[in-house]
Amino acid sequence: MAASRLPLHLVALASSPSPSHPIFFCKINNGAKFPYKKQSDTGESNLPNTISHRGRSWKDSSTVKKSHLNNSPIVSSSDQWGIWTALFAAATFGLWSEKTKIGSMVSAALVSILVGLAASNLGIIPHDAPAYSVVFRYLLPLTIPLLLFRADLRQVIRTTGTLFFAFLLGSVATVIGTTIAFLMVPMRSLGPDNWKIASALMGSYIGGAINYVAISEALGVSPSVIAAGVAADNVICALYFLLLFTLASKIPPESAKVTDADSSCPESSKSKLSVLQMATAIAVSFSICKTANSITKTFGIQGGELPAVTAVIVMLATIFPSFFRHLAPAGDLFALVLMQVFFAVLGASGSLRNVINTAPSIFLFAFIQVTVHLVIILGLGKLFRIDRKLLLLASNANIGGPTTACGMATAKGWGSLVVPGILVGIFGISIATFLGIGFGMLVLRHI
């Protein structure tokens, strides 16, 4: 998952309202919403004061004030306007940083994480705040449909041909690479998070960053480990893309350039957005999230909201491709901003010391993971006599996602592969969360 591959690959996947997951009105004390009780004789209220989410909790404003009288952050957790201002400022700074040389090297996502991490560890914003649960519970699921408006699986299978087969080989290579890497570097120091972050990275290297986020959230990975994983992943992806371009250096560009309007990367159509298009994209995304939420509640599927959201949008985008393709440019923009806010929350929730201590083991794991992936996809490609150009582009779509695949095809002059590269990347996003969660639960946790 290169975090820089937003907006598209920041893309697949997390839970129905349950005591283990935050809700906007907030599940309280692992119980129902705000169970009002008679006040005690001491005059103190029996109202609950803790908002819980996957082992992390946020205290209400009165409790926060009491516990931080002598060491409170500049922006308190009860200052909703202040918290949201800080989060969106960190997100915006991350996006702006990509216009600079350093920012473009490390990606907007990592910059937003580092800004959030620095702000919380320097005492500017709190490590815990109710606003963070809103991001996890509402903004993250809302992002998924926005990123998958192009997920027309019929078009993927119909138009990608041999590249689609190469992508499937790459996905198998990622699964094998994950298994070998976990056997060699089990990351025991992470405790129960070890197999979970391995699952998340597997999903990322089949689909994209959104899969990494969705799997991490569904499995309950701690924020510091998630942030460390993003940091390690960015370094790995930067080195990997450099290697891919080196391997492709002797492959010539195509003789004729494709001029079809759809052969450009998704970002090219963003300037043509209308207000109605943007409003419709948001309304449709909310509707899909509501539908998925109702499905998970009806069938009692805990931890299944993000996978349900993914399944619903992929099905709809396949049935009504023209409608959703029209909304896709607006979806990309909204999703890009929302994901940046999410990364800012990841940073704010993390401990700088934990991130520094955790990142090296995750880096080594991911390095082995992608190395095995590359060896296997090139080996299987040679066995099946697949053009190396297709193998390298498929691997790029696996590790980086649709946006980086588009960028590579464009930069190398492979005009006929631009759209297929995007489509196989979107396909990866559509399936990666299910594969990551399933493989982690059934295999990795038992190794």
CB 433 within 8 A of CB 203: yes
Confidence grade of residue 61 (pLDDT, cut at 50, 70, 90)? very low
For the stretch 370-414, pLDDT in tens is 999 999 999 999 999 999 999 999 999 999 888 788 888 888 889
Greatest mean pLDDT range, 126-130, 150-154, 280-284: 280-284
Average pLDDT for 302-308? 82
Q: Provide the 10 A C-beta neighbour count for residue 271.
A: 7
Q: What's the CA gap between 290 and 103, in Å, rounded?
A: 36
Percent of the chain with pLDDT over 90: 50
Tens digit of each residue's pLDDT (9 = 90 or more) over 66-113: 434 336 899 999 999 999 999 999 999 999 998 998 887 777 888 898
- Statement: residue 40 has pLDDT above 80: no
**In the chain, what percentage of residues exceed pLDDT 70?**
81
Bridge partners of 56, per DSSP, are: 53
Q: Give the tens place of pLDDT for each residue, 313-371.
A: 999 999 999 999 999 999 989 998 998 998 898 888 877 777 788 889 999 999 999 99
H-helix or E-strand containing 141?
A: helix 140-147
Backbone dihedral angles phi then psi of residue 19, each to the nearest 5 degrees: -60, -15
Nearest to 342 by CA among 140, 56, 53: 140
The span from the CA of 351 to the CA of 357, in Å, is 10
Q: Which two tokens stand for residue 8?
A: 């598209």
Residues 6+ apart with CB under 8 A from 15: 21, 217, 218, 296, 302, 303, 304, 305, 306
Question: What gap in Å lies between CA 419 and CA 430, rounded to an integer?
Answer: 17
Residues 206 and 189: beta-carbon distance below 8 Å:
no
> Does 441 have pLDDT greater than 90?
yes
Segment 252-281 mean pLDDT: 68
Q: How far are the Cα atoms of 163, 239, 264, 371, 377 from residue 245, in angstroms, in the given order?
A: 17, 10, 20, 15, 16
